[in-house]
Structures are given as structure tokens and as C-alpha cells.
């Protein structure tokens, strides 16, 4: 659907700056490629142009779309695309500045002010998708057939018209657009700022969220347990607020979905992803059926390695005995990833290189900085920016490989232009997971002995379980939560119960769930920012596992087909993109291929025990 105000979807919170020492010279963002400052001539001119052009666009086209000829429709869409580019540039700049320090009130105010103004400017644009959807199919098809340049926009037009049955009146659509600033956007911000302000007492240390979560993979079991108790205590103290946010957003979504006539809470996400509900259901069912041979089997093996009969939740991410905890310097991490990318294709390494030397990566852990990692494409006439919170662990190297894969994908897709470059979430994880797999395989090939190979394999299996099993469990949690919310407001205890109902099923019988873990749904930002987003991770992992199997078969033109797929951005459906590789995600057996790869790695780990 055409969106009048782009907004990046990212994962936020704060990290503790004292953990950032000793990893080498970490790069920082240079945002001047977007704007040199917040009040200079360039951004001031762009804001003024945006206000004028939004009003002029509405004046020129509202009520007239159905009367345009092919050339007129092309000009209309191109003007609309330019509006998207300028508003996207402004909001990318405001958002990235904010994520560098979410506790800086000036940055928060600037982002909020920009969002509010652009929402006001773009309200007159709401008519565009509504009128486009009212054009008769035959008339629109005739326009597309008459002009090749216009026909290039067919994918985005089809995506918009997929929402046609769920479209409301012009007045209602404008109302929903206007009130979003004090609706979901405001609740999202409350969640972000609350999370950024939380502190956790672990021993004698006062930490914030990311530093505390980091302790869940600490070699010392007492530290992991202490961090878990600290997290559960603070979540419990704030659980009423998190339940209120969750209840409100779920109800707001239910109201809008009901007015639109969407058949399920998940339907909007599927439409946005341009993926059929039955494909997602086939993925979900395949993963749930595979729980016993994946997570249940692996965690039972891990319990044996740790010398435990039962595992506590704080043991799930424990490092393995004899795991190498040597700090990986930033330059070494860069070399590992770039060597893996270059071995696949010099072109991939060439695209990735500017991220390191042109200020496109912000890697350090700093006070107030958003947690986790992301790659944000900004707009197609600039370049992506990658955010990390680099702590020198091998997993951080994998995160660099992952986010850099996103960046490469976004650079390649930029050639499609502002409206067609954005990849559906189901395919957005393809290059990132593939980049991780390339790096992992490179490290595995260079493992000095079987013990090192075991550690690498186990780490990769854990990552894949987190990407596939955990994310499908999260998806089931959301499905159950939204279904239950339709019957009335949920108490914190009811949400806790829904959370626990998917945890035992997905993690397996080796786990014992102590008091406090029932609140751990509260800190997961995807539930707040992007309902039902999480299945995209499992989709991407399964797709890449199948894709990597094709690559290992050694086709001479694989790299060319791979870059062509990434360059397509959002201009093609997943069926069309995967066809050159002989793959079809709508085939239920497709998902079994990817899951079998994970299972085979667990087979190898079990064989090492014999």
C-alpha cells in the first residue's frame, strides 16, 4: 500500500557505555549525507518544499485520478514518489539521531516534531491510494499496457489494490492518519522511553537492559541467574504499564481491523508482506512439528554438556564449556566478514566496503543508544546505515555479518527507486541470513580442531533455534494474545499465562521455568512496534537454508542470480524471485528442507558424543 509517511521499524533500548572498551577503533555514523544539521538551509528547504508539494499534489489530483491518461498517471506517481523520498530522508535523519541517544530530550523532541509536521503535511495525500483503488480494473490495466514506464510500478499498484476490500471512507482514512501520532506512535514511544530508563541491580552493579541481557550468556552461572532475577524483578514492578501498552495497542488494532473487515489480526501483516496466509501457516506448522527434533533435542544435548539434569531459563544461552571467550577486536571482526563476503563474490565485498570507511556503521556501546542492531535503508538516493552494539563476542561478529547483508541488499535494491526498493519482510532477511551463513561456513572451514568445530556448530544451531523456533513461538504468542484480547482486556497474569503456554512447548521438557520468567514477554519490542513481524525471521532463515543448499550444489551462475534477486527489491513476488533457483516457498515441503539442515547439524553434534 502507498504510505504517505515512511517510518523505520527498528528495535530500541539503551546500553551501558562502560562495556564498550577494548574492541579497537569503533566507527560512528556520519549523518551529514542526509543533513548536516537540524536547522540548516537544506532541511529547512526540504520541509518547506514538502509542505507546499503535498498541498499542490492534492490540489492537482484529488478527485481526478480516474480521468488521467497513462502519461498523466505516470507523472502523478513520480511526484508521489518524490514526496516519499523527501519525507523519508527527513524522518531517517531524525530517527537515526534519536537512536544514537534515546535519552537526549532534544533528539526526542526533534524526531517527534518532524513526525508531527510530516503527518500534518501528508494528510492531504490520503486520497491517493483510496482513489487508485476505485479505478476500474480494465481501465487501470489499459493504462499500464499503454506505457512501459508506468507498467514498472505495477507491483506497488497491485500491493495497494490488495487492500481495496478493506478500504474505509476518505474521511475515516484521513482521521486514522491524523490520530496515529497520538495513537500507536505515542504508545510505541512510551514503551521505548520506559525501556531506555529502566535500571537493573545485579550484584553491586546498576545496569540497563542490554547490559543485563548480555549477562544471560555469561560463563558464570551465578551471574546468569542473578541477571535473570534482576530482569524479572524490574519487569514485575512495571508489568502493569507493559500490560496497559499491550492491551491498548492490541485493542486499537482490533478496532481498525474490524472496521476494515480484515479477517484475522495477522491479515494486515500478510498483505503488507505480499505473502499468502497459507504459506505462513505451512511455515508455522512445519516448525512446530519440528520442535522435538530441533530445540527439544538440542537443549537436552546442551544440558548434558553443562552437567545438568534440568536446565533453568538462565542456562538457555549459556556458553558451552571450553568455549573461546576471547574478545574479537573490531578489525578482526571486519576481516572475518569481509573475507567471507569476498570469497563468495568480490562484488559483495566491494559493496560492503564503504560501510566501514564512510561513516555508515555506528558500532560502539554508548549511554542512551538504542540496543540491538539494525540496518536502515534511509532513502534510495543516499545509502543505508547500520547500527550495532559491539561487545567483542563471536555472536557480535555474526551480527555484523547479518546487518551488513541487509546493507548490501538495500544498496542493490536502491536502483528500483523509492516505491519499489522496499523488500517485503518475508524476503528482507534473505541477504542478512545468507551473509551470516557465509561467515559461519568460513569460520567452520578454518576451525583448527573438532573441539572448535563443535563450539561453532553449537553456536550456529543456537542462533538458528533463536531465529526459527523462538520466533515462531513468539508468533504463536501474538496470535493467542490478539485472539484473547478480542474477548476483553487482559490482566498481566493472563498475558503471562499465554507467554508460558508457548515456552514449554517450544523449548522442551528439559527446562524448568522458575518464578519470574512469565514476565519476559514485556521487553520484546517487535510485539509493540511491528505486530506479527517475527515470522519473517523464520521465513528468512528457512529460505536461506534452502538457498544455501542450491549454492553448495555449485551452479556457475548462482552469484549472478543471487545479485539479480537482491536487486529486484520489492518489484517481484517471492515465487518469481525464487523460481530461478528451483525453489517454491508455497510448497509445504520447502520448509522441511531448511529445517532438515538444522537437524543435520544437531546430528553431527550428537555424533561427536559417541
Average pLDDT in the chain: 90
DSSP label at residue 415: G
β-bridge mates for residue 312, sequence order: 512
Q: What percent of the chain has pLDDT over 90?
A: 70
Q: How confident is the model at residue 116 (pLDDT cuts 50, 70, 90)?
A: very high
Instruction: Output the pLDDT for position 17.
Output: 35
pLDDT, tens only, 480-509: 999 999 999 999 999 999 999 999 999 999
Mean pLDDT of 334-347: 97
What are the angstrom distances between the C-alpha of 231 and each of 198, 207, 214, 217? 10, 10, 11, 14
What are the angstrom distances between the C-alpha of 295 and each of 264, 290, 301, 326, 518? 29, 8, 10, 27, 19
Instruction: Report which of 444, 426, 416, 408 is spatially closest to residue 562, judged by C-alpha positions.
Output: 408
Instruction: Output the pLDDT for position 262.
Output: 94
Instruction: Output the pLDDT for position 22.
Output: 59
Instruction: Report which of 533, 365, 343, 372 is spatially closest to residue 435, judged by C-alpha positions.
Output: 343
Q: Tell me the angle at which helices 239-260 and 492-507 cross, rounded to the nearest 10 degrees.
A: 90
Instruction: Output the pLDDT for position 7.
Output: 31
Residue 35 backbone phi and psi in degrees, to 5: -150, 145
Instruction: Give CA 166 to chain center in angstroms.
Output: 25
Instruction: Output the pLDDT for position 610.
Output: 60
Q: How confident is the model at residue 160 (pLDDT cuts 50, 70, 90)?
A: confident
Mean pLDDT of 584-593: 83
Buried b (16+ CB within 10 A) or exposed e, 567-581: bbbbbbbbeebbebb
SS3 374: strand
Instruction: Round to whole Å and give the CA distance between 454 and 447.
Output: 9
Instruction: Output the pLDDT for position 16.
Output: 35
Altogether, the residues listed in the chain come to a count of 610
pLDDT, tens only, 271-297: 888 888 999 999 999 999 999 999 999
Report residue 292 as a C-alpha cell: 522435538
Residue 19 has pLDDT above 70, yes or no: no
Instruction: Output the pLDDT for position 593.
Output: 81
> 246 or 536: which carries more pLDDT confidence?
246
What is the C-alpha end-to-end distance of the chain, expressed in Å? 55
Identify the top-confidence range among 62-66, 318-322, 543-547: 62-66
Q: Hey, what domains does the chain have and what are their CATH numbers?
A: 37-188 (1.20.140.70)
Helix, strand, coil % in the chain, rounded to nearest 5: 70, 5, 30
Instruction: Round to whole Å and give the CA distance between 540 and 472.
Output: 12
> 497 or 545: which carries more pLDDT confidence?
497
Q: How confident is the model at residue 323 (pLDDT cuts 50, 70, 90)?
A: low
Mean pLDDT of 201-205: 94
Amino acid at each position: 500500500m502507498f504510505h504517505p509517511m515512511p517510518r523505520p521499524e527498528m528495535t530500541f533500548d539503551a546500553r551501558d557505555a562502560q562495556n564498550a572498551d577494548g574492541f579497537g577503533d569503533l566507527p560512528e555514523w556520519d549523518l551529514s549525507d542526509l543533513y548536516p544539521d537540524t536547522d540548516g538551509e537544506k532541511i529547512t528547504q526540504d520541509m518547506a518544499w514538502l509542505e507546499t508539494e503535498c498541498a499542490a499534489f492534492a490540489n492537482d489530483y484529488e478527485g481526478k485520478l480516474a480521468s488521467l491518461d497513462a502519461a498523466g498517471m505516470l507523472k502523478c506517481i513520480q511526484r508521489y514518489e518524490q514526496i516519499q523520498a523527501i519525507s523519508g530522508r527527513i524522518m531517517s535523519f531524525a530517527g537515526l539521531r534519536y537512536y544514537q541517544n534515546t535519552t537526549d530530550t532534544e533528539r526526542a523532541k526533534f524526531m517527534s516534531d518532524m513526525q508531527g509536521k510530516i503527518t500534518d503535511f501528508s494528510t492531504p495525500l490520503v486520497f491517493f491510494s483510496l482513489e487508485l483503488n476505485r479505478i476500474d480494473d480494465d481501465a487501470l490495466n489499459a493504462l499500464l499496457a499503454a506505457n512501459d514506464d508506468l507498467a514498472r510500478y505495477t507491483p506497488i499498484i497491485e500491493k495497494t489494490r490488495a487492500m481495496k476490500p478493506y478500504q474505509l471512507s476518505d474521511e475515516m482514512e484521513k482521521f486514522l492518519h491524523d490520530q496515529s501520532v497520538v495513537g500507536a506512535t505515542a504508545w510505541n514511544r512510551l514503551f521505548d522511553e520506559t525501556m531506555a530508563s529502566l535500571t537493573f541491580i545485579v550484584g553491586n552493579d546498576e545496569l540497563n537492559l542490554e547490559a543485563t541481557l548480555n549477562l544471560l550468556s555469561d560463563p558464570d552461572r551465578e551471574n546468569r541467574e542473578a541477571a535473570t532475577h534482576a530482569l524479572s524483578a524490574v519487569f514485575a514492578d512495571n508489568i502493569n504499564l507493559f500490560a496497559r501498552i499491550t492491551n491498548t495497542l492490541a485493542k486499537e488494532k482490533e478496532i481498525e481491523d474490524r472496521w476494515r473487515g480484515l479477517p484475522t489480526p495477522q491479515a494486515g501483516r500478510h498483505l503488507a508482506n505480499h505473502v499468502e496466509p497459507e504459506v505462513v501457516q505451512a511455515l508455522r506448522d512445519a516448525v512446530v512439528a519440528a520442535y522435538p527434533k530441533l530445540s527439544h533435542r538440542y537443549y537436552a544435548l546442551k544440558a548434558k554438556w553443562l552437567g545438568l539434569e534440568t536446565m533453568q531459563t538462565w542456562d538457555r544461552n549459556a556458553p558451552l564449556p571450553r568455549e573461546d571467550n576471547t574478545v574479537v577486536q573490531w578489525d578482526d571482526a571486519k576481516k572475518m566478514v569481509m573475507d567471507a563476503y569476498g570469497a563468495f563474490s568480490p562484488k559483495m565485498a566491494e559493496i560492503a566496503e564503504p560501510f566501514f570507511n564512510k561513516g555508515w556503521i555506528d558500532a560502539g556501546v554508548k549511554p542512551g543508544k538504542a540496543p540491538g542492531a539494525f540496518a536502515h535503508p534511509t532513502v534510495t538516493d543516499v545509502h543505508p546505515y547500520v547500527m550495532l552494539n559491539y561487545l567483542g563476542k563471536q555472536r557480535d561478529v555474526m551480527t555484523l555479518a547479518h546487518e551488513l547483508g541487509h546493507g548490501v541488499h538495500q544498496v542493490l535494491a536502491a536502483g528500483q527507486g523509492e516505491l519499489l526498493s522496499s523488500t517485503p519482510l518475508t524476503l528482507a532477511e534473505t541477504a542478512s541470513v545468507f551473509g551470516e551463513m557465509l561467515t559461519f561456513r568460513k569460520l567452520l572451514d578454518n576451525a583448527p580442531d573438532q573441539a572448535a568445530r563443535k563450539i561453532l556448530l553449537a553456536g550456529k544451531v543456537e542462533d538458528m533455534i533463536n531465529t526459527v523456533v523462538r520466533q515462531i513461538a513468539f508468533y504463536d504468542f501474538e496470535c493467542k494474545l490478539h485472539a484473547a484480547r478480542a474477548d476483553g482486556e487482559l490482566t498481566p497474569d493472563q498475558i503471562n499465562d499465554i507467554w508460558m503456554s508457548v515456552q514449554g512447548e517450544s523449548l522442551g521438557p528439559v527446562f524448568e521455568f522458575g518464578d519470574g520468567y512469565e514476565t519476559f514477554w514485556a521487553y520484546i519490542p517487535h510485539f509493540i512496534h511491528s505486530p506479527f513481524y517475527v515470522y519473517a525471521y523464520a521465513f528468512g532463515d528457512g529460505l536461506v537454508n534452502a538457498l544455501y543448499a542450491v549454492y553448495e550444489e555449485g551452479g556457475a551462475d548462482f552469484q549472478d542470480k543471487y545479485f539479480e534477486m537482491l536487486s529486484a527489491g520489492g518489484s517481484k513476488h517471492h515465487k518469481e524471485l525464487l523460481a530461478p533457483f528451483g525453489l517454491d516457498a508455497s510448497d509445504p515441503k520447502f520448509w522441511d528442507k531448511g529445517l532438515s539442515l538444522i537437524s543435520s547439524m544437531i546430528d553431527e553434534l550428537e555424533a561427536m558424543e559417541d
